[in-house]
Each structure stands twice: as C-alpha cells, then as structure tokens.
Chains A and B, each alone.
Chain A
Amino acid sequence: MHPEDDLVTRPDVASGRLRKAPENFLDRSGVQTVFAEARDGRRDFIRRAFTTAAAGVAVGAGGNALAQGNPVPTEGGDPNILNLPAHSTGLGQGVVTDGYGKPSKYEANVQRRQSPGLTQTTQASVSFAPLQSLFGIVTPSGLHFERHHQGWWDIDPSKHRLMLNGSDPTLMKSPKVFTMDEIMRLPSVSRFHFIECGANTAVEWGNVAVPTVQYTHGMISCSEFTGVPLKILLDMCGVDYKRGRYLLAEGADGSSMTRTIPMELVESGEVFVAYGQNGEMLRPENGYPLRLVVPGVQGVSWVKYLRRIEVGDAPYAAKDEAVHYIDLQPSGLHRQYTNIQECKSVVTTPSGGQILLDKGFYNITGLAWSGRGKVTKVDVSVDGGRNWRTARLEGPVHSKALTRFNINWVWDGKPAIIQSRATDETGYVQPTYKQLRAVRGTRSIYHNNAIQSWLVQESGEVKNVQLS
C-alpha cells in the first residue's frame, strides 16, 4: 500500500490539510469504476474509429479530384496515425527547460537573412524579415529586420542617458537629462506600428533582382512599441514651439545616427521614445534600451540607442538626409527629406520561391500598410491586374500599422499572376510599376511602393516577375 492511501481513507487526517490533486481522493471502488469506464470507452472509441475510416474510404473514392495532397495510403492508413510516435509514448520536457523559450527546432528555416552581395560589410548592412512565414501583423522581435550603420551594441541601460537641448539656448528653457529609470516612471503608451526602411524593395526599382518576398519586401516589421510621448519630455524642458519647428534625433552608437524630425509629428502626440517591443524590452539589434518611434516615416528616422534630442529652427541635412535616402528624379534633381512611407501591400502566400504542391483551395494572404493612416481596402488579382476582387481585412486595423488581408482562391493548375493593391484612408491607391515610373523614373532607389506580381507556373513554382 502506498503511504498516501492511508491519508485519503482517514477523513480526520485529510480534512483541514493542504489537499493533493483530486484523483488521490478517490476510494478503491471509485478507482475501479473509473478504470472500468475508461476500458469500455476505449473499446467504443476503437469501434467508432473503424466505422468512420470505412466511411471515409467510400467518400474518398468519389471525392474531389483536385484533392491530392493528403490521400489515404494504399495500406489503409497513415503511419503517422497508425504508429504512435515517441512523443505520445514517452515523458516530455519539464517546465523552464528554457528560461526564455525558443521556437520549435522545426521552425529553424524561419530566419532573418542578408541578401548576398548587397553590402560589403556586416556592420553597415541589413537583414530581411521572413515575411513569407509570418502570421497576423506582429513581427516576432527576434525576426525584426535589422539595419545598422556602424554595428549594433548591447548597451547597459543603467548607464544610458537621454539629453534634450536646444540648438541655441533660446529654444529651450531648461535642457534636461533623463535616466532610463526616470523615463520608465513616466506615463506610457503602447501602440502597434510598422517600421519600413525607405529602401525596402529598392533593388526592384529597375527590374526583378531577387527571388522571394523576404528580399523584395522584408525590410518591414510591425511591433507593439511601448514608451513615452516625446511631447511630454519636451514640455518638461520648456520648448519654444513657435520657433522650434524641427528636431534632431541622435543615437549613441558609433555613427551617432542623426535625423531631422518635423515638430508637427511630435505635437500630434504620435512620436514617442520607446523602450518596449512586443511586451519585452527592445532587442539590442533594434535599439535597446531606447529608440525613437516615428509612425509612418521611413525606418532610418526611428533613431536607435537614442541619446539626444535637439530642438532647432532649421533642418539639419544629416548624412542620411543629404547623401543617402534622397530620391533621384529623371530631371537629375534629388528629392530631399522624403520621409513618408506611402500606401503599399504585398502578397506573402503564395510568393516567390515557393511551390504549390497541389491544385485546389488556397487562402491568398498578405500585408498592407500606409504611412498616412489606416488601410481601408485591399484588392487582389490573380490574372495580372485585369480583374480584381476585394479581400477581407483581418482585424485589428491600426493606423500606420501592418494590416493582414485574406482572400479565397481555387487554383485550377493554370498559370496565374497574383497581385495585391492597397488603398488608405486618404484615398491614395497603390500604383503599378508603370504608374510609379511614369513620374519618378527608375533611379529613385527609395520609396518603391509599386504593386508586386507573383507568377504561379503550371509546375506549382512561384516566380517574382514584373509586367511590361
């Protein structure tokens, strides 16, 4: 007899004590009853399963000719069902095997990746988020795309400081210094926003250059960011908002990255200094412990490792505003300070480099976004833009955030060209390549928001193509 059985048969001992799990309180006859019922139930279950399997074979014989991906094997059953695997017959892992959990090993193909040959040094490079493998609108923090200007650092938050000052003393009454502890004591906001590099899809301005949506569109991610509206900090310093119409945001990394931000965006309450991302602190590759969030504006302005905000009365023409992130027009002029990411979308499933294994039903899905507000509509074409159907927008639809869309499609095995076209709340409609190039030529590099085309071939393989 197990010593604990003694306890459960003696009510005087059991009552008033910390009780064990209920099953230990069954008496012997109760245990026998439960076991007997379980045995009978098991027999019933097995009998039912055979009946169902027989019925299934009958339906399968006259069933849908398109359905081939999951056939009943000739042996009459799938070995994955018939033979119980180790995970059903052995002891699994305990809790906290990993103090900070990781994805399944079977997800190891889902990684951010560099595009070979795009940059010559890894410290001034980019990695692309695997859009083809993501669901919903949130990018897992560990898959968030990266863009570094002089290498990333893991900065000690207890030593990090944020300074606010004016370009001259009259623009700010009291320049201030904040510690991370102080910033995290202030009232916080949490908001979903996309961040897209101004150069996302840049390699495709002239022609097709890369095979998959990861490399065409993967310099975008969407997170729930948490932090303090910058307006609160500026108010504490006594800013002259009449004269101080520009900000300089500056990072603490080697490049001390700098960008000009218009004061209007700060006054609207939208711009905030963020320490949180998807419920955890920012990842070091994304600016730990503090970065600027500038919704709707190209990623380079979301300065990482934010150390300083200067209020000024003129724009700054920082390196990335005077040498890069300027858009060459056919006239030979560059457009300077092109910051807004205009309305754009892309189908992620199916997309380039993938193979459809069968004909039949598919859920076409993808992402849409606009730097000017909410996405209101996404249309999808499977015939290269001749005809369009309006897709379902999956909630929630946030302003200046990724929006997931879905639409049903039955593939008949014939070649198809899949496209998506987004419209935002200002009425702006995502353009075709032809429309975009008619205005801007092919050498802008930045801000390519043209409609993407994926060719589904008869073999099932999907290719990145552009229409002439």
Chain B
Amino acid sequence: MSSSRDAKRLKGAASAVAVAAALWAVGGSAWAAGAQEFPGIGRSATPKEVSAWDIDVRPDFKGLPKGSGTVSAGQDIWEGKCAHCHGIFGESNEVFSPLVGGTTADDVKTGRVAKLTDTSFPGRTTLMKVPTVSTLFDYINRAMPWTAPKSLKPDEVYSVLAYLLNMGGVVPDNFVLSDKTMADAQARMPNRNGMTLDHGMWPGKSMKTAGKPDVKAVACMTNCAPEPNIGSFLPAFARNNHGNLAEQNRMVGAQIGADTTKPESTAPLGTGAAPVAPVAPKPAAAPSGSALINKHGCVACHSVDNKIVGPSFKDVAGKYAGRADGVDYLTGKIRAGGQGVWGPIPMPAQTLPEADARAIAQWLMDGAKK
C-alpha cells in the first residue's frame, strides 16, 4: 500500500484519533514504517505457533481440518460428553437453550425455517437459527465440551456434528460428514437463507446499508403524545422476584429502595403512609485479632514479628503461652496499660471495647498469627 493513499484516506477521516494514527503511518509503506518505528517490539510467529492457535473455520470452509465422522460414532460421543447438558436428543433446556427442534423437512428444502414467523412457537433452537454449518464445527471444536474445551479430535468433532444434524433431520442416518461433504451439509441447513444483511447496524462499508438507521423519530417538544396509558407493568406477585429492592439501593440519597418484602403502599405521601426506613447493610462478621490491632492503632508501637516501641506480638504470645488465665490477664493489661514488664517505657491504658480487647488477647494466646 502506498503511503500517499494511506495518508490521504486517514486525512479524510474527521476524528482526531485518526490523525494520531496517521502520524505512525507516515513514511514508506505502513509495514516498513511500523517495523522501523518500534524496533525490538514483537517477533515473527513460527508456523508451529500459528497452527496451534489458528483454529477458526469460516463459512467458505477455510480453516477446516481434514477428517470425517459418522452419525453412529457421533451418538456415542454425544451420550458420553454432550447429553448431560444438551439432553439425549439435543432438546434439553436445563443448562442451555435446546439445540434441536422446530425445523421441518420442508425447511431443509427452502432454507427458511417457517416457525420463525410463528409467534406462538415457544422458543428458538440452534438449528432454527444457524445458517452456516461451519459455525457449528468451529464452535464445537473450540469450545466444547463445556468443561473441557478443545479436547475433541477433528474426527470426533465431525462425528458429533453429524449426529447433531441427523437429530435435526438435516442429514440421513448413513451420512458421513467430512471436509469433503461439508458443502453438501451446508446446502441442507434449514435456515441457510434466513439471514439478512440489509440493515444499518454494521459499522463498515462492506455491508449493504451501512450506518443508515431504520427507525426514525423526531424530537417533538410540546403536545406530542396523547394522554399516556400504561400498557405493561410488573404484577404484584412479582414484586419481590428480584429480592428486596431496599437492599439493592444506596441507603442515603434522593430516594431509597422500596421494601419489596412488604405489600406496596397505595396511600399518597403525607396521609399516614409511613415511608420505609433505609436498610442498613448486614453487620460484617466479627473482625479478626489481626484486623483489630490495626483498627485500634496497636501497630503504631507493636509489630507482629519485631520490637518497635513495645515488644513484638509474637514475643508477647510466647511469654504467656500456656498461662491458664492468659486471655483474662492480657485483656486487663490491654485496657489498663502497664509498665516494667518489658522495660521502662510504659504502655498507656487503651480505650477500646472489652470484646475487642478480649479478641486481641485471644489472638495473642493463639500465637499472634498474621
């Protein structure tokens, strides 16, 4: 690519980021510039490395590995590795949406799944939607089984896919799926003609109506709509379906969360309907001894392992280890303070709750572990 064309195209782009990008592309071909501009960064990928990661399979079957599989081999693998999530017939809705169902022999002929226009049909299975058989191969190969992705060999992937297509009535029982027959399977995919690129939501020029919105609204300001009529809201029985909303809102602010464990109040404000009090978060578990020595500033003079002003907590723990009334004694010492046990520097009396002092004393008696 010539630099002048490169620079021209980027100059045409309005955004400042494009200009910034152009700065790096100026001078020689983009490749030469990139390579010279940042010496010492990045290295060539080896063919072995590329083949280890380059596993994608495209709709034109670029990337498809050689191999083949039968429907019956696929059934064995399916029952061992796939059925517990997807059901014996790919129909399970327990873990994921069903894979199979909702397609007909007629769909295989037309390439359009008729049930997609039937609003009373309860759901959409994978085979009702997927237009490209490459997609199924690629995904099974890279991501299945769920708990052991990339563990299937190519022949196993072909087999499982053959079985899946057979369950959906796409290929017959004796079908052998291989890199050679993938195109035959593609020609039978029930929804192969079911996609449209005729929309404005692809952010590139490579599809038909790039960037053109299909829904056009105007920003009317006054007398715009008729008297509003509420058409849909959550029924009362669903009030607490998402848990207590009072616990899902900040407890302070312009408004608080509604207590959905109780029925809704319908009385207007100021007519006796008491607003619900904010819900404070649940108290945390009792803090550990090591948290309390931080909280109460003990670590200003003591550390766990080393003498600072006072002795290390380990030394204190060692001195009183085995003393029967150790917890009581140390609780008292922490609160009353003392002098002379560890030298002339006094420890002042500490103001902290008895329970905290006792927890610290217990922690010391347990060996002052970090």
Contacts and interface: CB of A to CB of B under 8 A. Distances in A.
Interface string A304-325: 0001101010111111011100
Contacts of B265: 459, 461
Contacts of B203: 262, 264-265, 296-297, 339-340, 371
17 contacts: A94-B294, A116-B243, A150-B146, A211-B242, A235-B25, A238-B30, A256-B150, A262-B204, A269-B22, A314-B58, A315-B59, A319-B138, A335-B199, A384-B227, A431-B215, A462-B255, A462-B258
Interface stretch (B75-83, B113-121, B335-343, B359-367): B113-121
B217 A435 contact: yes
A278 interface: no
A196 interface: no
Interface in A212-263: 212, 214-215, 229, 231-242, 245-246, 248, 250, 254-256, 258, 262-263
A439 interface: yes
A314 B191 CA distance: 20
A88 interface: no
Contact of A338 (B43, B55, B199, B268): B199
Contacts of A207: 231-232
Contact of B130 (A322, A431, A455, A463): A322
Most buried by A among B53, B252, B265, B280: B53
Contacts of B95: 120-121
Interface of B is mostly: loop
B174 interface: no
A108 B197 contact: no
Contacts of B347: none
Contact of B232 (A130, A268, A384, A468): A468
Contact of B31 (A124, A236, A255, A387): A236
Nearest to A206: B232
B212 to A, nearest CB: 10
Contact of A468 (B20, B198, B229, B239): B229
A363 interface: yes
Q: Considering the complex of A and B, which 8 residue pairs feature the smallest CB-CB distances, nearest first?
A: A262-B204, A468-B231, A384-B228, A269-B21, A238-B31, A235-B34, A108-B281, A236-B34
A163 B50 contact: yes
A105 B44 contact: no
A327 B62 CA distance: 26
Contact of B214 (A113, A177, A350, A440): A440
Interface residues of A, number: 161
A64 to B, nearest CB: 14
A270 to B, nearest CB: 6
B344 interface: no
Interface in A353-372: 353-359, 362-363, 371-372
A267 B41 CA distance: 21
A316 to B, nearest CB: 6
Nearest to A183: B41
Given A109-B249, A269-B18, A185 B41 contact: yes
Given A94-B297, A116-B241, A339-B202, A177 B43 contact: yes
B220 interface: yes
Interface string B100-136: 0000000000001110110100001010011110110
Interface of B: 1, 9-10, 13, 15, 17-22, 24-25, 29-31, 33-35, 37-38, 41-45, 49-50, 53-56, 58-60, 62-63, 94-96, 112-114, 116-117, 119, 124, 126, 129-132, 134-135, 138-139, 142-143, 146, 149-150, 191, 194-207, 211, 213-234, 238-239, 241-243, 245, 247-258, 260, 264-270, 273, 275-276, 279-282, 284, 294-297, 299-300, 351
Interface string A144-165: 0000011000000000000111
Nearest to B277: A357
Contacts of B63: 167
A187 B24 contact: yes
Most buried by A among B44, B234, B282: B234
A107 B233 contact: no
Given A175-B44, A322-B195, 20 more contacts: A93-B295, A150-B143, A163-B49, A175-B45, A191-B17, A229-B17, A238-B30, A250-B56, A322-B130, A326-B129, A332-B116, A336-B131, A339-B202, A354-B257, A356-B255, A358-B269, A363-B254, A455-B233, A460-B275, A468-B229
A170 interface: no
A388 B233 contact: no
A199 interface: no
Interface in A6-48: none
B258 to A, nearest CB: 5
A423 to B, nearest CB: 6
B164 to A, nearest CB: 13
A101 interface: no
A421 to B, nearest CB: 7
